[in-house]
């Protein structure tokens, strides 16, 4: 009787070990390439949140200034400075007389709002000095 060879179905132990090793190398490669992307995936969200907060704060300062410059013509910059300036406030930075404008040297104040790594800035000027000057609008 001739010897019959039986074909068994399935993987041998050696084939299984090789498949596990190859899969491990592939996993290491994928994690190496995608690791920084996975770690940094939240950064755009944080930047957007910081920008939204900074913009809201700057609009708050501008709105307060606008109300004051139209109702209290000569003291609008002083009102903004006294309300928002603080040595412990690192979010809003106010710089008085940031520039001189025109022949009469209009009083000004630079406002920089920083939240996280996002900054927004504006320049406020005391353009209304008496009630007959035109009202200011943004």
Q: What is the tens place of the pLDDT at every residue in 44-53? A: 888 999 999 9
Domain assignment of residue 17, yes or no = no
Q: Which domain holds residue 99?
A: 45-125
Domain assignment of residue 28, yes or no = no
Residues sharing a CB contact under 8 Å with residue 49, sequence separation 6 or more, in sequence order: 116
Report the run of H or E that residue 75 belongs to, with start and end: none
DSSP-assigned letter for residue 88: T
Domain assignment of residue 32, yes or no = no
Domain assignment of residue 131, yes or no = no
Encoded tokens for 10? 């399935």
Q: Are 80 and 94 in contact (CB under 8 A)?
A: yes
Residues sharing a CB contact under 8 Å with residue 133, sequence separation 6 or more, in sequence order: 73, 127
Domain assignment of residue 2, yes or no = no
Domain assignment of residue 63, yes or no = yes
Residues sharing a CB contact under 8 Å with residue 125, sequence separation 6 or more, in sequence order: 101, 106, 107, 108, 109
* Confidence (pTM): 0.64
Chain centre to alpha carbon of residue 45: 9
Please report, in tens digits, the pLDDT of each residue of the chain (138 residues total).
Answer: 555 666 667 778 888 999 999 999 999 988 888 877 777 777 888 899 999 999 999 999 999 998 888 887 678 888 898 888 876 667 888 887 755 555 566 788 889 999 998 999 998 888 777 777 777 776
Domain assignment of residue 33, yes or no = no
Q: Distance between CA atoms of 22 and 28, rounded to whole angstroms? A: 10
3-state secondary structure at position 84: helix
For 17-30, letters b (16+ CB in 10 Å) and e give eeeeeeeeeeeeee
Domain count for the chain, please give it: 1
Domain assignment of residue 3, yes or no = no
């Amino acid at each position: 009787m001739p010897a019959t060879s039986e074909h068994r179905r399935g993987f041998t132990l050696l084939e299984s070990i090789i498949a596990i090793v190859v899969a491990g190398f592939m996993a290491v490669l994928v994690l190496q390439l995608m690791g920084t992307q996975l770690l940094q995936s939240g950064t755009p969200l944080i930047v957007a949140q910081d920008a939204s907060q900074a913009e809201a704060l700057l609009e708050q300062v501008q709105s307060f200034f606008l109300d004051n410059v139209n109702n209290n013509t000569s003291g609008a910059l002083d009102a903004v400075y006294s309300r928002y300036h603080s040595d412990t406030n690192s979010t809003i930075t106010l710089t008085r007389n940031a520039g001189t404008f025109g022949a009469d040297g209009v009083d000004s104040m630079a406002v920089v709002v920083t939240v996280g790594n996002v900054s927004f800035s504006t320049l406020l000027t005391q353009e209304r000095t008496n009630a007959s000057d035109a009202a200011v609008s943004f």
